[in-house]
């Protein structure tokens, strides 16, 4: 008799992105596949000073077990920054520190989902959220989404016809994978609609502070009158993913349950790493650090868009993200992104086919491009190779 696994393991496949990323580790590869921040902007020198001063001033505390909720001064700073940037009114009591915001997604699945419960999400949606939730074996309904956000007529149809909806998962700011941002009008109407139902909403916002133009729009959490919105974000995009510090902001009834889940899952997050970020915010100008990221990513986005406009054949469209790390490209219907990827890998340029961002499949002609991790010259050359491959494919 072979070892018997939990049923959920049938749903947990190896991440396709991860498999593609392995192929992209060749030196000569130009990769738009990952979602990595630009390492040249990691504040390495400053982190050296911070690391030493934390160990000097609070060494014993920094290396010991800590509370499940997280390091209070960091929770306080996160609340203050959220309120200033996303117009929320949260306090440190609402903030739970997690190991990156991926952990917040896993915990949300654990908190809400029994087998065959329904998760509503955008179409497409974030691939790794699908993996996180799949561990709890739900069904997904991907609600049609346009340039302003989820289409509310479609959403309402689902809300009124389905009984087991347990969770709505959305990424209103510079969505992964499309780079699109919900309009203010859509946000307001969305919250008005969903507030009639007592369904929790995960507002996943890892990229919101990386806005290249215009002002940050009010978050869904800022319009939440019923305590339904669970806001999650991370320092992985604005600071350093290697520290693995993200957070959940949730109302007390939810917060207290997330704490119980974290107790069972990993007891606590590295307090030393939390102390370092809190100290960095105290000692250095965090906003100017983010300013540098915004400047760099904006110029990389500009170069990518300029090159796409100059080189793509007709019939291929793409998004114009106002921030974040990704843009989204749509090929003519008859073309398969997975086929194109094979051609591209031969020519040393990589991307992620959009297929796996649709939880129920069915779309095969889209792809995600990351612009944060490659220098401008490589973006130029990479897009030249991509466009050439598209033209050759379409000529076949």
Under the criterion CB under 8 A, does residue 325 sit at the interface with a second copy?
no
40 binding a second copy? (CB under 8 A): yes
**Helices 44-62 & 271-283 angle (0-180, nearest 10):** 130
Is residue 395 a contact point for a second copy (CB under 8 A)? no
Nearest to 230 by CA among 101, 325, 134: 101
Residue 200 sits in the site that holds a second copy (CB under 8 A)? yes
Give the one residue of 32, 86, 112, 297 binding a second copy; rule: CB under 8 A: 112
Nearer to a second copy, 192 or 267 (CB): 267
Which residue number, 164 or 320, has a Cβ lying nearer to a second copy? Answer: 164
Q: What CA–CA distance (Å, rounded) separates 269 from 272?
A: 9
> Of 138 and 308, which CB lies nearer to a second copy in the complex structure?
138
Say whether residue 260 binds a second copy (CB under 8 A). Answer: yes
Among 36-44, 204-212, 332-340, 342-350, the segment contacting a second copy (CB under 8 A): 36-44
Using alpha carbons only, give the angle 235, 246, 326 rounded to the nearest 5 degrees: 55
What part of residues 142-181 is at the interface with a second copy (CB under 8 A)?
A: 166
Q: Strand pairing partners for 231?
A: 203, 249
Bridge-based pairing of strands 30-31 and 366-370 is unpaired
- 124 prior amide bond cis, ω within 30: yes
Q: Which is nearer to a second copy, 52 or 184 (CB)?
A: 52
**Nearest distance from residue 7's CB to a second copy, in Å?**
5
Q: Alpha-carbon distance 70 to 59, whole Å?
A: 17
Using alpha carbons only, how large is the chain's radius of gyration in Å? 21
Q: What proportions of the chain, in percent to the nearest 5, are helix, strand and coil?
A: 45, 15, 35
Among 27, 60, 213, 288, binds a second copy (CB under 8 A): 60
Does position 257 interact with a second copy (CB under 8 A)? The reply is: yes
For a second copy, which residue of 30, 141, 248, 261 counts as binding (CB under 8 A)?
Answer: 261
15 binds a second copy (CB under 8 A): yes
Compute the distance between CA of residue 250 and CA of residue 252 in angstroms, rounded to an integer: 7
Applying CB under 8 A, does 24 fall inside the site for a second copy? no
Stretch that binds a second copy, among 112-120, 175-183, 283-291, 387-395 (CB under 8 A): 112-120
Q: Which is nearer to a second copy, 180 or 246 (CB)?
A: 246
Packed helices 184-194 and 152-161: angle between N→C axes, nearest 10 degrees:
10
Give me the residue label for tokens 């009834």: 253
81-110 positions binding a second copy, by CB under 8 A: 98-100, 102-103, 106, 110
**Dihedral (C-alpha) 120, 125, 127, 133: value to the nearest 10 degrees?**
-10
Asked whether the beta carbons of 122 and 101 are under 8 A apart, the reply is no
For position 357 contacting a second copy by CB under 8 A, the verdict is no
Contact between 187 and a second copy by CB under 8 A: the answer reads no
End-to-end CA distance of the chain: 50
Q: Taking the CB of residue 76, how many other CB atoms lie within 10 A of it?
A: 15
225 belongs to the binding site for a second copy (CB under 8 A): no
Nearer to a second copy, 184 or 283 (CB): 283
> Applying CB under 8 A, which of residues 136, 207, 231, 326 lies at the interface with a second copy?
136
């Amino acid at each position: 008799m072979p070892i018997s696994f939990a049923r959920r393991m049938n749903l947990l496949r190896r991440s396709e992105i991860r498999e593609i990323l392995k192929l992209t580790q060749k030196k000569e590869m130009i990769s738009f596949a990952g979602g990595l921040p630009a390492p040249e902007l990691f504040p390495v020198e400053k982190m050296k000073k911070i690391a030493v001063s934390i160990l000097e001033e609070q060494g014993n505390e920094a290396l010991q077990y800590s509370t499940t909720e997280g390091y209070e001064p960091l929770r306080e700073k996160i609340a203050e920054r959220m309120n200033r940037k996303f117009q929320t009114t949260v306090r440190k009591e609402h903030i739970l520190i997690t190991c990156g915001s991926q952990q917040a997604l896993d915990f949300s699945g654990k908190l809400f989902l029994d087998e065959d419960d329904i998760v509503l999400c955008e179409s497409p949606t974030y691939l790794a959220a699908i993996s996180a939730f799949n561990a709890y074996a739900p069904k997904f309904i991907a609600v049609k989404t346009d340039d302003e956000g989820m289409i509310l007529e479609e959403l309402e149809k689902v809300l009124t016809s389905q009984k087991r909806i347990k969770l709505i998962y959305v990424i209103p700011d510079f969505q992964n994978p499309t780079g699109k941002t919900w309009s203010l009008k859509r946000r307001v109407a969305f919250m008005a609609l969903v507030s009639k139902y007592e369904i929790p909403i995960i507002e996943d916002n890892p990229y919101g502070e990386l806005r290249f133009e215009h002002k940050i729009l009010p978050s869904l959490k800022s319009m939440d009158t019923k305590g339904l919105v669970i806001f999650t974000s991370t320092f992985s995009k604005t600071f350093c993913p290697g520290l693995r510090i993200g957070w959940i902001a949730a109302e007390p009834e939810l917060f207290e349950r997330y704490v119980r889940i974290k107790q069972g899952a990993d007891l606590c997050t590295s307090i030393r790493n939390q102390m370092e970020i809190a100290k960095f915010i105290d000692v250095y100008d965090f906003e100017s650090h983010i300013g540098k990221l915004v400047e760099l990513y904006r110029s990389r986005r500009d170069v990518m868009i300029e090159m796409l406009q100059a080189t793509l054949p007709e019939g291929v469209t793409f998004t114009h993200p106002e921030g974040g790390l990704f843009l989204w490209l749509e090929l003519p219907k008859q073309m398969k992104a997975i086929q194109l990827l094979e051609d591209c890998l031969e020519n040393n340029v990589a991307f992620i086919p959009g297929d796996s961002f649709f939880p129920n499949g069915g779309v095969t002609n889209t792809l995600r491009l990351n612009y944060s991790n490659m220098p401008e010259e490589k973006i130029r050359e990479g897009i030249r190779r991509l466009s050439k491959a598209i033209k050759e494919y379409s000529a076949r």
